[in-house]
Chains A and B, each alone.
Chain A
Amino acid sequence: MAEIERVGEVIEASTTGFTAQCYELYQMPPLGSLVKTGDSAAELYGIVCNAETTSLELGRRPIARGRDEDSEEAIYSSSPQLAKLLRSEFEVLVVGHREGDRLYQHLPPQPARIHGFVYQCTPDEVKDFGESFDFLNIILNAHLPVPGEELVAASLRRMSQAHQDRRAFLVAAGKELAILLSGNLNQLNAVLGRIKL
Chain B
Amino acid sequence: MTERLGIVVSGSLNKGVEVRLDSSTSIEDMVEGRFVTIEGAKRRFFGMITDVSLGMTDQRLSLTPPDVSDPFIAEVLAGTSTFGTLHVSPSLVIGGDASAILEGPQPVKTIPSHFSAVKLATQEDVELVFGTEDEKRFFIGNPLDMEVKLCLDLEELVKRSNGIFGKSGTGKTFLTRILLIGMLQKSRAVNLVFDMHNEYGWAGTREGGPPVKALKQLFPSRVAVFTLDEENARHRGVSTDGVVKIGYDEIEPDDISLLRQTLNLTDLAVEAVYQLYRKFGRNWIQDTLDLKGVEELPEGLSIHEGTLLNLQRGLATIRRLPFIEPHSPVNAVQAIMEHLDRGTNVVLEFGRYRDITAYILVANMLSRRIYAHYQSRVEKADAKGSMRPQPLVITIEEAHKFLNPEVAGQTIFGTIAREMRKYNVTLLVIDQRPSGIDSEVMSQMGTKITCLLDNDRDIDSVLAGVSGRNELKSVLSKLAAKQQALIFGHAVPMPVAFQPREYGSAQSYKDFAPREDVKEDIEKLWD
Tell me, yes or no, whether A binds B. Answer: yes
Interface residues of A (CB under 8 A from B): 167, 170-171, 174-175, 177-179, 182-183, 185, 188-189, 192, 196-197
Q: Does B101 contact A (CB under 8 A)?
A: no
Of B23, B60, B72, B75, the residue contacting A185 (CB under 8 A) is B60
Provide the residues of chain A in CB contact with B80, threshold 8 Å: 174-175, 178-179, 182
B window 405-428: CB within 8 A of A: none
Instruction: Check B81 against A192 for contact (C-beta < 8 Å).
Output: no
Instruction: Check A171 against B70 for contact (C-beta < 8 Å).
Output: no
Provide the residues of chain B in CB contact with A171, threshold 8 Å: 72, 75-76
B81 nearest CB neighbor, chain A only: A178
Bound-state Cα–Cα, A196 to B77, Å: 13
In angstroms, how far is the closest chain A Cβ from the Cβ of B288? Answer: 84
Instruction: Check B76 against A174 for contact (C-beta < 8 Å).
Output: yes
Bound-state Cα–Cα, A188 to B60, Å: 12
A177 nearest CB neighbor, chain B only: B76
Q: Total A-B residue pairs with C-beta atoms closer than 8 Å?
A: 41
Instruction: Check B76 against A185 for contact (C-beta < 8 Å).
Output: no
Instruction: Check B58 against A192 for contact (C-beta < 8 Å).
Output: no
B72 nearest CB neighbor, chain A only: A196
In angstroms, how far is the closest chain B Cβ from the Cβ of A182? Answer: 4
Instruction: Check B61 against A196 for contact (C-beta < 8 Å).
Output: no
Give 1 or 0 for each of B51-82: 1 = CB within 8 Å of chain A CB.
00000011011001010001011011101110
Main secondary structure of the interface of B (DSSP, over half): loop
Contacts A175-B23, A178-B81, A182-B81 given; does A192 touch B60 at CB 8 Å: no
A167 nearest CB neighbor, chain B only: B72
Q: Which of A170, A171, A175, A178 has the most CB of B within 10 A?
A: A178
Provide the residues of chain B in CB contact with A196, threshold 8 Å: 70, 72-73
Instruction: Check A182 against B58 for contact (C-beta < 8 Å).
Output: yes
Which 5 A-B pairs give the minimum distances between C-beta atoms?
A174-B76, A178-B80, A182-B57, A196-B72, A178-B81
Of B57, B60, B79, the residue contacting A175 (CB under 8 A) is B79
21 inter-chain pairs at a CB distance below 8 angstroms, sorted by A residue, are A167-B72, A171-B75, A174-B72, A174-B75, A174-B76, A174-B80, A175-B23, A175-B76, A178-B57, A178-B77, A178-B80, A178-B81, A179-B80, A182-B57, A182-B81, A185-B64, A185-B81, A188-B81, A189-B66, A192-B76, A196-B70
Provide the residues of chain A in CB contact with B61, threshold 8 Å: 185
Beyond contacts A170-B72, A175-B79: 10 other A-B pairs, Cβ-Cβ < 8 A, are: A171-B76, A175-B23, A177-B76, A178-B80, A182-B80, A188-B81, A192-B66, A196-B72, A196-B73, A197-B72
Bound-state Cα–Cα, A185 to B23, Å: 19
Interface residues of B (CB under 8 A from A): 23, 57-58, 60-61, 64, 66, 70, 72-73, 75-77, 79-81
Bound-state Cα–Cα, A164 to B66, Å: 28
Provide the residues of chain B in CB contact with A185, threshold 8 Å: 58, 60-61, 64, 81
Provide the residues of chain B in CB contact with A174, threshold 8 Å: 72, 75-76, 80
Contacts A183-B58, A185-B58 given; does A192 touch B73 at CB 8 Å: yes
Instruction: Check B60 against A178 for contact (C-beta < 8 Å).
Output: no
Bound-state Cα–Cα, A196 to B76, Å: 10
B66 nearest CB neighbor, chain A only: A189
Provide the residues of chain A in CB contact with B77, threshold 8 Å: 178
Instruction: Check B23 against A192 for contact (C-beta < 8 Å).
Output: no
Provide the residues of chain B in CB contact with A182, threshold 8 Å: 57-58, 80-81
Bound-state Cα–Cα, A188 to B72, Å: 13
Provide the residues of chain A in CB contact with B73, threshold 8 Å: 192, 196
In angstroms, how far is the closest chain A Cβ from the Cβ of B64? Answer: 8
Provide the residues of chain A in CB contact with B57, threshold 8 Å: 178, 182-183
Provide the residues of chain A in CB contact with B76, threshold 8 Å: 171, 174-175, 177-178, 192
Bound-state Cα–Cα, A175 to B57, Å: 13
Provide the residues of chain B in CB contact with A177, threshold 8 Å: 76
In angstroms, how far is the closest chain B Cβ from the Cβ of A159? Answer: 16
A180 nearest CB neighbor, chain B only: B80
Bound-state Cα–Cα, A137 to B66, Å: 23
In angstroms, how far is the closest chain A Cβ from the Cβ of B75? Answer: 5
In angstroms, how far is the closest chain B Cβ from the Cβ of A140? Answer: 15
Instruction: Check A192 against B72 for contact (C-beta < 8 Å).
Output: yes
Bound-state Cα–Cα, A174 to B72, Å: 9
In angstroms, how far is the closest chain A Cβ from the Cβ of B463? Answer: 40
Bound-state Cα–Cα, A177 to B80, Å: 9
In angstroms, how far is the closest chain B Cβ from the Cβ of A2? Answer: 32
In angstroms, how far is the closest chain A Cβ from the Cβ of B500? Answer: 44
In angstroms, how far is the closest chain B Cβ from the Cβ of A69? Answer: 45
In angstroms, how far is the closest chain A Cβ from the Cβ of B26? Answer: 15
In angstroms, how far is the closest chain B Cβ from the Cβ of A195? Answer: 8
In angstroms, how far is the closest chain A Cβ from the Cβ of B46? Answer: 31
Provide the residues of chain A in CB contact with B58, threshold 8 Å: 182-183, 185
Provide the residues of chain A in CB contact with B81, threshold 8 Å: 178, 182, 185, 188
Provide the residues of chain B in CB contact with A188, threshold 8 Å: 81
Q: Which of B64, B70, B80 has the most CB of A within 10 A?
A: B80
